[in-house]
Amino acid sequence: MPKWKLKTEFTFDAAHYIRDYDGPCGRMHGHTYRVRVEATSHQLHASEFCPHPAMVTDFRTLRWAKRDVLKGGLDHCVLNEVLPDSYETTAEMIAQYIYDKTKKDLPEQIRLKVAVSETPNSWAEYEDD
């Protein structure tokens, strides 16, 4: 069975603090977040931007979070003010938030993986089981 894998990487800048964290991360601070998104499918699909089945999904669909917060993304926002209360602003939960919001815009059979980094040497990853 054929399988296609789409990968993209992007950054966005945002501020946050971790509620009730006993240490510097409990104070407002900022990061340049690096995000890796991987989408895998056994069939190709049409998209909002391409009417015939020629892609796993559109790269623009996977990169929504890099848009300015005023245009629906996460760039230049305070994550604590944008993410719903059910998501803490740890790298793990930011990865899950990006995953959850991206997954809603994809065909059901596409498997998705999202990784988020706050620093060059540390990543958190969230994916389908």
CATH number assigned to the domain comprising residue 111 = 3.30.479.10
Which residue range(s) make up the domain with 77?
Answer: 4-127
Q: According to the model, what pLDDT value does residue 42 have?
A: 96
Rounded Cα distance between 52 and 48, Å, is 10
Give the model confidence (pLDDT) of 50-80 as tens digits: 899 999 999 999 999 999 999 999 999 999 9
Hunting for tokens 């958190």 — which residue is that? 124
Q: Which two structure tokens, joined as six digits, stand for 19?
A: 């509620």
Is 91:74 a contact under the CB 8 Å cutoff?
no
Which residues fall within 8 angstroms of residue 31, CB to CB, at 6 or more apart?
Answer: 13, 14, 16, 118, 119
pTM of the model: 0.95
CA nearest 95: which of 72, 115, 123?
115
Tokens standing for 63? 């990169």
Beta-ladder partners of 75:
68
Q: Cα(87)–Cα(120) distance, rounded to whole angstroms?
A: 23
> How many domains, in total, are found in the chain?
1
